A and B are shown apart, each in its own frame.
Chain A
Amino acid sequence: MENLTENILVFATNIRTVTDKLTISAALDKNPAIEKWNIDQEDVDCVLRIISKTLSEEEIINIVENQNFKCASLE
């Protein structure tokens, strides 16, 4: 498990289907600032979890919203 918890960012999204995941994969995989990411599509919030040393919450929200998905920081 990652020890640097400050590098983990979590968001509630509407990335629900397999196709949705493919769409967002393309955007996230090509971003070199993202070390690792995953989506828990079993969860009602379809939680997107990102590990990045440099990206801010806002920047990630922008990336996801640019793919026409909802994305909000999870508190």
Chain B
Amino acid sequence: MRTRDTNKEELVKQKAIEMMVKLGIEGFGMNRLAKESGVSVATLYIYYTDKEDLIKKIGIEIGQNFFNEMVKDFSPTMSFKDGLRKQWENRARFVIKYPLNVACWELLSHSSYRDYIMKESLCDFKSIMTEFIKNSIDKKELMPISKEIFWSIAYGPLYSLLRFHNEGKSMAGTPFELTKEAAEEAFELVIKALTP
């Protein structure tokens, strides 16, 4: 009789994320995943009904972890500047701590699994952020702009800098590390751009 081993399951998840990032969604299969994780194919199918089930569950878990990190010490009633700064801190911490999970999330968010995974993992987060933006506009701390433009300006600079940081070099190929000072400098410019 088979029992569930949580450590093994974690190992399988981690391996699956690694393989997805390295080989792409089409590139990896259940058999190979079982081999590389050191579990039998049968065990893998005890955990998951099929590859699709595995991908969905992993995607949702990454999304939920991301969500939990994003709302840490954050409230939609914060002032716009404090709230956005907290978002920058939380996002930067997650991206730096879990680069592989973030790469996997990126991959999934460009795949056919996107809608399902987003719906299952991020709907609470969406409503919190919508409330934050609405409050900020009402308090006249944020210009009334569309959410796409808001997102691009509010987080675009941060994600660019984080990409340089994770790659260890900038677009020019020079060494780069995202220091607190650099982040603060960029953050102030973003606030300047978004404040009425």
Contact = CB atoms under 8 A, between A and B. Distances in A.
Interface stretch (B43-51, B100-108, B150-158, B168-176): B43-51
Interface residues of A, number: 19
B45 A40 contact: yes
A40 B45 CA distance: 9
B3 A47 contact: no
A44 B29 CA distance: 9
B2 interface: yes
B52 to A, nearest CB: 8
A40 B30 contact: yes
Nearest to A47: B45
A40 B49 contact: yes
A6 B1 contact: yes
A16 interface: no
Interface of A: 1, 3, 5-6, 8, 10, 12, 38-40, 42-45, 47, 49, 73-75
Contact of B3 (A5, A10, A43): A5
B11 interface: no
A47 B50 contact: yes
Given A5-B46, A42-B30, 8 more contacts: A38-B49, A40-B30, A40-B45, A43-B31, A43-B41, A45-B41, A49-B49, A74-B40
B40 A75 contact: yes
